[in-house]
């Protein structure tokens, strides 16, 4: 049986031909958290966007399969695809400031999707929203439902976005750098909350982040990306104990930690960059042949 989300040889390219994702494959089982790690421009966000069908207009999927719940999303007509995605997947976005509409109250922003897309009654949706806000540990949910986004802190807003992502009981959650804009203390709470919610709902979670520290806290497995190519795919513990690829090792060495008082930060050595660049070039050569 296929894992709940199974991406096979996914390639995404700019309309002018430049490759953004190079033959990416990964699996996420129900109840598991898979991390996508890489530096900016590695294409980690584009994987989530490919699954959700929200790639920027300049990009297109040029090959591969995205199996979601036993169906290859790329082989069915767009209207059906959107419907399936809407019913099974949801996104926790990066920036809690821009992800909520500043002119609308919180309540309708959570319930609208339930009412408009999934055809719930208003009362049901309302009740579900209250229940969810309580689940994400918001005190006085009834009042928060009537608040506008600007009346709430960044952490609160991220909680609301998490609540609304889980609203329709999705089987797949894609979290795109959900804590990058937050303070570390708030980040810790939010990470725990996401992990709790994921465990309780048993969803598959694709977690995009640039922070290896965050990965070690929430993920079961991870893929390390460089220039749109998966350079290492590993179980979480194995990765942190014995990273295999030189680029992964360099990335770990470059991550600053406060527990190491004297150790100097190791920038990713040019030799490693060159080696991984060569891999990318080789891949492209094979790909075009």
- The pattern of x and - marking residues 212 through 231 that bind other proteins according to CB under 8 A reads xxxxxx--------------
Residue 175 DSSP SS3? strand
Going across the sheet that includes 19-28, the strands are 19-28, 5-14, 59-68, 71-72
Pick the closest to residue 61 from 21, 31, 95 (CA basis): 21
- Phi, psi of 268, rounded to the nearest 5 degrees: -60, 120
- Phi, psi of 117, rounded to the nearest 5 degrees: -95, -40
Query: Cβ distance 117 to 86 under 8 Å?
Result: yes
Binding segment for other proteins (CB under 8 A), chosen from 70-78, 92-100, 109-117, 180-188, is 180-188
Q: Of these, 31, 93, 108, 154, which contacts other proteins (CB under 8 A)?
A: 154
103 lies in the binding site for other proteins (CB under 8 A): no
Q: Of these, 98, 117, 267, 281, which contacts other proteins (CB under 8 A)?
A: 267
Q: Of these, 255, 277, 281, 282, which contacts other proteins (CB under 8 A)?
A: 255
- Rounded CA separation 39/227 (Å): 9
Residue whose token pair is 């979290």: 175
Q: Of these, 71, 74, 254, 280, which contacts other proteins (CB under 8 A)?
A: 254
Query: Cβ distance 48 to 176 under 8 Å?
Result: yes
265 lies in the binding site for other proteins (CB under 8 A): yes
8 lies in the binding site for other proteins (CB under 8 A): no
- The pattern of x and - marking residues 113 through 152 that bind other proteins according to CB under 8 A reads ----------------------------------------
Q: Residues interacting with other proteins, by CB under 8 A?
A: 16, 39-40, 154, 183-188, 191, 210-217, 236-237, 240, 250-252, 254-261, 264-268
């Amino acid at each position: 049986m296929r894992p709940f989300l199974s991406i096979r040889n996914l390639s995404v390219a700019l309309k002018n031909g430049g490759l953004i994702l190079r033959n990416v494959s990964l699996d996420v089982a129900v109840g598991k958290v898979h991390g996508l790690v890489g530096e900016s421009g590695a294409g980690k966000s584009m994987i989530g966007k490919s699954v959700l069908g929200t790639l920027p207009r300049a990009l297109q999927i040029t090959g591969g399969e995205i199996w979601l719940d036993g169906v290859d999303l790329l082989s069915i007509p767009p209207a059906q695809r959107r419907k399936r995605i809407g019913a099974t997947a949801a996104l926790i976005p990066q920036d809690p400031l821009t992800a909520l509409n500043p002119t609308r109250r919180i309540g309708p922003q959570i319930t609208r999707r339930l009412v408009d897309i999934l055809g719930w009654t208003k009362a049901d949706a309302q009740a579900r929203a209250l229940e969810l806000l309580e689940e994400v540990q918001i005190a006085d949910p009834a009042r928060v439902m009537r608040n506008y986004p600007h009346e709430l802190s960044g952490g609160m807003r991220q909680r609301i976005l998490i609540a609304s992502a889980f609203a329709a009981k999705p089987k797949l959650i894609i979290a795109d750098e959900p804590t990058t804009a937050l303070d570390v203390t708030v980040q810790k709470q939010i990470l725990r909350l996401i992990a709790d919610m994921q465990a309780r709902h048993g969803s598959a979670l694709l977690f995009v982040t640039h922070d290896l520290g965050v990965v070690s806290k929430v993920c079961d497995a991870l893929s390390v990306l460089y220039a749109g190519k998966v350079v290492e795919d590993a179980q979480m513990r194995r990765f942190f104990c014995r990273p295999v690829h030189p680029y992964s090792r360099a990335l770990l060495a470059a991550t600053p930690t406060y527990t190491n008082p004297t150790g100097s930060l190791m920038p990713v050595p040019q030799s490693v960059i060159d080696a991984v660049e060569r891999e990318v070039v080789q891949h492209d050569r094979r790909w075009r042949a």
